Amino acid sequence: MGETLFTNVSVIDGTGAKPFDGTVLVNGNQIAAVSRGDAIDAGDAHVVDGGGATLMPGLTDAHAHLSFLDSATLGDINSQSAERHILETAKNARKMLDHGFTSMFSGSSARDNLEVALRDAINAGDIPGPRLKAATRQMTVTGGFGDIGQDDAYSLVLDGPDAFRDACRAAARAGVDTFKIVPSAPGSGPDPLAEDTAMTDDEVAAVCAVARQRNRMVAAHARSAEAVKMCVRNGVQVIYHATLSDDEAKDMLEAERDRVFVAPAMGLPYGRLTEGEKYGVSTDDFTRARAEKEIETVSATMADLRKRGIRVLPGGDYGFKWNPHGRNARDLQMFVELFGFSPLEAIQAATQAGGELMGEPGRLGVITQGAFADLLLVDGDPSKDIAILQDPDRFLAIMKDGAFHKEPADNLAGQRVAAE
């Protein structure tokens, strides 16, 4: 890989600190040195003059579904043949790297072992894509969320702790990184956000026991307050949604803030409410009311969790027709506009905290000596305008593991001056 020296850049290091004018040296797949100003000797390094552009860590999506192919319904997720499905998933992996996401933590795979094969192919250099934590199909219960009554559906329907335990052991043997479970399910009644707690404490405990034995992570679709509390009690590390968390659930999350991550996954309701018509998706009154109440409720909950110091990460269930892959960085704008994060705090959630989620604290999602060289060179300052991260044309260069996925243009600095 050799050495690459980024000069004349404004550095956002991922820690939440203010940007600084600096120089960054990459040697192999790691950051060898970071300096304020231009104190690093270029030596024989390939020099990239950023012309004042922003250099920042690559982004992490904490709730990814690369194998969801921008489907219109839950039943459509596995409508492709298995062979075509993995090819289309590989295209999504490349698309996400094109959009600045150098790491993806899966919120579930559409098919057993699909993401394991994808992850291994990416790691081997056979196909381009982000670093990937591969998940199981989501494991639900009879009548639970995702039980759509189809063979080979995107959910695995299980009942009882023994069934969950057996499924997790088989998944560990296959090489997954994460067990995905669904403790809560939509409830009934006039409240559009009503949620039941569908899994039992024994079922969640069985999953977490296997995870501890086999050094895996557990992620959970948990909207009801009781589902959130059940997850925290049993050691689930990643809690998706946390929509109806009450004070007790929030206190439990705060007590475990060094262990647990929360990803609200607001992309689905936000996309449905604001862009459904754009993608030809109709929205009935109940769905609209649910989306409106979910956005209001989750915004208040995440603002509170942020104040409590709980790690809230972007990742918005992208992969549906009205919430397609490539829009993922919209989550960062929602963090700012709806949850009260500053742009730098939103970037920190998608970089430093994302690296912690990926199991590489201090090594991924930060620009510091010894960290992995997953870097974005951005035209503009996302600490002032977070929305620019939604435009892939703003990425002047994309580096993953020390290698350019997107090469910077020749005379980049001169081109930027001319453009201004």
Which tens digits make up the pLDDT trace of 409-418? 987 765 554 4
Residues 149 and 52 in one domain: no
**Cβ atoms 108, 65 nearer than 8 A:** yes
Tokens of 328: 């993922």
Residues 270 and 282 in one domain: yes
Residues 283 and 214 in one domain: yes
Q: What is the pLDDT of residue 275?
A: 84
Q: Is the pLDDT of residue 273 over 80?
A: yes
Is 66 among the domain residues?
A: yes
Q: What is the pLDDT of residue 151?
A: 79
Q: What is the pLDDT of residue 287?
A: 85
Residues 100 and 224 in one domain: yes
Residues 39 and 148 in one domain: no
Is 353 among the domain residues?
A: no
Tell me how far CA of residue 357 lies from CA of 108, 133, 314, 363, in angstroms: 15, 10, 11, 11
Q: What is the pLDDT of residue 232?
A: 98
Q: Give the mean model confidence (pLDDT) for residues 212-235.
A: 98
Residue in 159, 66, 107, 198 with CA at minimum distance from that of residue 167: 159
Is 388 among the domain residues?
A: yes
Q: What is the pLDDT of residue 417?
A: 46
Residues 133 and 10 in one domain: no
Q: What is the pLDDT of residue 283?
A: 82
Tell me how far CA of residue 279 lies from CA of 36, 323, 329, 410, in angstroms: 45, 9, 18, 37
The C-alpha atoms of residue 306 and residue 340 are separated, in whole angstroms, by 8
pLDDT bin (cut points 50, 70, 90) of residue 274 is confident
Of 48-52, 90-94, 276-280, the one with minimum mean pLDDT is: 276-280
Q: Give the mean model confidence (pLDDT) for residues 351-360.
A: 98
Is 80 among the domain residues?
A: yes
Q: What is the pLDDT of residue 36?
A: 92
Is 342 among the domain residues?
A: no
61-108 tens-digit pLDDT? 999 999 999 998 889 999 999 999 999 999 999 999 999 999 999 999
Q: Is the pLDDT of residue 185 over 90?
A: yes
pLDDT bin (cut points 50, 70, 90) of residue 219 is very high
Q: How many domains does the chain have?
A: 2
Of 18-27, 38-47, 107-116, 212-221, the one with minimum mean pLDDT is: 38-47
The C-alpha atoms of residue 170 and residue 163 are separated, in whole angstroms, by 11
Q: What is the pLDDT of residue 359?
A: 98
Of 28-37, 53-62, 91-100, 146-155, the one with minimum mean pLDDT is: 146-155
The C-alpha atoms of residue 381 and residue 121 are separated, in whole angstroms, by 34
CATH number at residue 73: 3.20.20.140
H or E stretch covering 174: helix 161-174
CATH number at residue 14: 2.30.40.10
Q: What is the pLDDT of residue 418?
A: 45
Residues 224 and 250 in one domain: yes
Give CA torsion, residues 405, 132, 103, 296, to 10 deg: 140
Is 344 among the domain residues?
A: no
**Cβ atoms 262, 242 nearer than 8 A:** yes
Is 349 among the domain residues?
A: no
Residues 10 and 26 in one domain: yes
Q: Is the pLDDT of residue 354 over 80?
A: yes
Q: What is the pLDDT of residue 299?
A: 96
Q: What is the residue range of 42's domain?
A: 3-58+362-419
Listed residues 306, 328, 350: the one ending a domain: 328
Q: What is the pLDDT of residue 407?
A: 96
Q: Is the pLDDT of residue 375 over 90?
A: yes
Q: Is the pLDDT of residue 338 over 60?
A: yes
Q: Which residue has the higher pLDDT, 290 or 23?
A: 23
Q: Is the pLDDT of residue 419 over 70?
A: no
pLDDT bin (cut points 50, 70, 90) of residue 59 is very high
Q: Give the mean model confidence (pLDDT) for residues 99-126.
A: 97
